[in-house]
């Protein structure tokens, strides 16, 4: 089964998780890039405001077409209890190619469940599996096990039974 791991990451945390997931699966990883400049307080403030109201940002074309993959794993940082605007834009652009999708997010402390629920509403159907990773868990030895659990949950949706 071909899998695309696609993510937006401002500070590298979501990229770390995406890279680890892709490495475990031997999958392709692709980054979502914005046109907007998010440097500085103004960039972050406008990004947070857009996230809060669910306004998508303008994103560049990604290297890989999600329609060419059997499964897409989509990752975002949590911004004010919402997905980053670039990820909202990605859902809007590729909705038809995201019939088999899983979501993950990274967060400082909280808001991940809310962000994942907002992604589900934006997409229009539930993802196959979700994963929420707090920053402090990134260096935790248990992260590898959590990634494995997430991936085996996805595998079960494919085979219809626990492995
Ligand atoms: C604009 C903005 C809003 C954020 N809002 C939240 C939040 O609501 N809850 C939270 O736990 N962390 C929040 N964070 C922290 C990020 O979710 C967290 O640092 C995440 O791991 C960043 O991922 P990245 O390094 O891939 O960009 C926010 C960060 C930014 C820049």
Q: How far, in whole angstroms, is CA 6 from its chain's centroid?
A: 7
Rounded to a whole number of angstroms, the distance between the first and last alpha carbons of the chain is 16
Q: Tell whether ligand 1 has an atom less than 6 A from the beta carbon of residue 10.
A: yes
The model's pTM: 0.96
- Give the whole-angstrom CA distance, residue 98 versus residue 71: 8
pLDDT attached to residue 163: 43
CB distance 7 to 14 below 8 Å: yes
Confidence (pLDDT) at 160: 59
Nearest atom of ligand 1 to the alpha carbon of 14 = 26
pLDDT at res. 39:
83
Could you read off the pLDDT tens digit of each residue along the chain, which spans 163 residues?
899 999 999 999 999 999 999 999 999 999 999 998 888 899 999 999 999 999 999 999 988 999 999 999 999 999 999 999 999 999 999 999 999 999 999 999 999 999 999 999 999 999 999 999 999 999 988 999 999 999 999 998 866 555 4
161 CA distance to ligand 1 centroid (A)? 35
> What confidence score (pLDDT) does residue 143 get?
94
């Amino acid at each position: 089964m071909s899998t695309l791991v696609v993510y937006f990451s401002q500070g590298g945390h979501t990229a770390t998780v995406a890279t680890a997931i892709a490495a475990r699966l031997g999958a392709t990883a692709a980054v979502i890039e914005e046109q907007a400049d998010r440097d500085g307080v103004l960039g972050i403030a406008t990004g947070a405001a857009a996230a809060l109201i669910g306004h998508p940002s303008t994103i560049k074309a990604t290297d890989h077409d999600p329609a060419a993959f059997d499964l897409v794993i989509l990752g975002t940082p949590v911004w004010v209890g919402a997905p980053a605007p670039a990820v909202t834009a990605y859902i809007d652009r590729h909705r038809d190619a995201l019939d088999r999708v899983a979501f993950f997010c990274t967060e400082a402390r909280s808001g991940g469940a809310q962000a994942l629920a907002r992604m589900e509403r934006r997409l229009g159907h539930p993802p196959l599996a979700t994963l929420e990773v707090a920053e402090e868990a990134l260096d935790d030895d248990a992260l590898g096990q959590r990634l494995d659990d997430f991936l085996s949950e996805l595998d079960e949706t494919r085979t219809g039974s626990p492995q």
